[in-house]
């Protein structure tokens, strides 16, 4: 068979383009968004309250750096997750996010200069996944700055699905709430969330459209 120069050139060009695409994907630092069925996303958020009987098994992969993207009506917030310092908590958060547990929930409690709290499928501040798990507060992390991601709870070792992001230094929380991540992009979105006290609010909080997990 006679091979034309044009055919050889075409193969070379295609190979070069493919190499460029693969190279840019691996070096961009954006990571890979975890895809899945998100089985709970089809349920009304209130139906997810108390859905599980026990905490999830470990799904973290050694050597993988995890991030989360919280998509809201105001835009996206990207957070680096502290899988080394708080593996139980990060594992739980990733499991629930990948299940679609957080899709369509709200930031039900947003207090000025304090924090924005979400992750409750009931939207009341009293809901959760149906199980509780232990604190991870002996990891040296403290509430010394804005943008820290931590677990809300009702006392020691009562973590479930509710989380919050700080608006500033909240050092009175040290040792009482597990810090498991930090905001890296979308500070303007955090600032734009409408203030809401669930004890007096008459309207739902800002919508969390979904939470996606990114692996690097």
| Enzyme catalytic residues | 109, 114, 117, 153, 164, 173, 177
Cα distance between residue 195 and residue 191, in whole Å: 10
Cα distance between residue 60 and residue 40, in whole Å: 20
H or E element at residue 154: none
What residues form DSSP beta bridges with 69? 78, 212
H or E element at residue 96: helix 87-99
Q: Could you tell me which residues come within 8 angstroms of residue 67 by beta carbon, excluding any fewer than 6 positions away? A: 31, 78, 79, 80, 81, 184, 213, 214, 216
- Kindly tell me the sign of the dihedral angle through the C-alpha atoms of 49, 51, 53, 56: negative
- Spacing of C-alpha 137 from chain mean position: 19
């Amino acid at each position: 068979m006679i091979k034309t120069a044009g055919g050889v050139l075409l193969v070379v060009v295609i190979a070069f383009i493919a190499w460029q695409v693969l190279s840019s994907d691996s070096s961009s630092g954006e990571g890979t968004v975890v895809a899945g069925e998100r089985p709970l996303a089809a349920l009304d958020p209130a139906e997810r309250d108390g859905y599980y009987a026990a905490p999830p098994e470990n799904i973290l992969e050694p050597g993988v750096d995890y991030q989360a993207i919280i998509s809201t009506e105001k835009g996206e917030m990207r957070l680096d997750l502290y899988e080394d310092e708080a593996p139980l908590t990060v594992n739980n958060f990733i499991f629930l996010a990948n299940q679609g547990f957080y899709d369509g929930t709200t930031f039900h409690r947003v207090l000025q200069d304090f924090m924005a709290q979400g992750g409750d499928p009931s939207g009341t501040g009293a809901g959760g996944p149906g199980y509780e798990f232990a604190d991870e507060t002996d990891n040296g992390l403290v509430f010394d700055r804005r943008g820290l991601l931590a677990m809300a709870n009702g006392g020691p070792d009562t973590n479930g699905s509710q989380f919050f992001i700080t608006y500033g230094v909240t050092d009175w929380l040290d040792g009482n709430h597990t810090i498991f991540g930090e905001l890296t992009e979308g500070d303007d979105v955090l600032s734009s969330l409408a203030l809401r006290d669930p004890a007096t609010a008459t309207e739902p909080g800002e919508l969390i459209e979904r939470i996606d997990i990114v692996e690097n």
